[in-house]
Amino acid sequence: MRRNAMIDEWYPVGLFSQLDIDGRKTALMGEPIELSLDVHGNINVKSSDGRFLPVCLRYGHIWSSLGKPRKDLFPIPEADQPGRRFVDVGVARVRCSPLRAVENFLDIAHFPFVHTDILGAEPHTEVQDYKVEIREEVDEVWATQIKFYQPQAAKSASGGITTEYMYRVPAPTCSVLYKTCPPRPGEWDVIALFVQPLAEDLCDVWPWMALFDDVTPMTDLIHFQQTIFLQDRSILENQIPRLLPLDPGMEIPTRADLTSIAYRRWLKRHHYTYGAQLVAQ
């Protein structure tokens, strides 16, 4: 089965704060699963054949796996940093490959055209040189030294600024973004995208944020991030092919696509092909 190389990874399957005695029915990589609370308040995740699946609680989310994860869930040190506000943005269902959802999150060039007057604006469309690497010691994709002019980089921003970015891919369907923190220079705002693969061409996307922002109402923080992602959803659901091509000859990359190229190379290296297209059709 194509999912085998990814079966032992952790995936988000629900928000801890939203799980009640009614539980939650969902799916993971084509298999129905059910989340429930037992009489002691413990969270159980069961497959359709009655197996109890591994459970991990982190970053406000419930994580599980159809297999046996070989390592702990990736760390986000900022999740333990005092003074941050943690924002569970909710979930958005998207009819696209889970790998497509992550790749779109890594794309900088679309900011002025999709997130106009928020994350980008014409004529500030040039993507300057930046650095991309696969960090072998942690087996993660990193993109650093990214700078981009943004009219409203965050809900806390009071005007346009040149924002610095770092992207990190610690798992096949998760990405973590570090960006300039307007109210606290020297720190990073953290925005993560946790993607639950429901099927090869369908996913639930769970954005999560760890911010230094003591002023903005929580509702406004959630609405701001939901607005950004819903602008992306229409693009994602109309991409052709629906699955993410891993053959470098199937799509023509540009200089702005360095992170995407590294991500695809990393996926191919590990045989992470659930949600990928391997050959041209």
100 in Cβ contact with 243 (< 8 Å): yes
List the CATH number of the domain containing 272.
Answer: 3.90.380.10
pLDDT (tens digit, 9 = 90+) per residue, 23-69?
A: 999 999 999 999 999 888 899 999 999 999 999 999 999 999 999 99
Query: Per the domain annotation, does 74 fall within a domain?
Result: no
Residue 247 lies in a domain: yes
Question: Strands of 43-47's sheet, edge to edge?
Answer: 24-28, 31-37, 43-47
- Amino acid residing at 229: F
User: Is pLDDT above 60 for 156?
Assistant: no
Confidence of residue 183 (pLDDT cuts 50, 70, 90): confident
- Per the domain annotation, does 139 fall within a domain? yes
The answer to the question of residue 217 being in a domain is: yes
pLDDT digits 0-9 by tens, 60-101: 999 999 999 999 999 999 999 999 999 999 999 999 999 999
Asked whether residue 173 is domain-assigned, the answer is yes
Structurally, how many domains does the chain consist of?
1
Q: Does 97 map to a domain?
A: yes
Q: Is residue 46 situated within a structural domain?
A: no
Give me the domain span that covers residue 244.
Answer: 84-277
Residue 261 forms part of a structural domain:
yes
Calculate ∠ Cα 166-167-168, nearest 5°: 125
Kindly state the percentage of the chain with pLDDT values over 90: 59
Cα separation of 20 and 42, whole Å? 11
Q: What average pLDDT does this structure show over 262-266?
A: 94
The sign of the dihedral angle between the CA atoms of 167, 116, 241, 32 is positive
pLDDT, residue 14, reads 97
The three-state secondary structure class of 27 is strand
Helices (H), ranges, 73-192: 98-106, 111-114
The whole-number average pLDDT for the span 140-169 is 75
Indicate the average pLDDT of the chain. Answer: 86
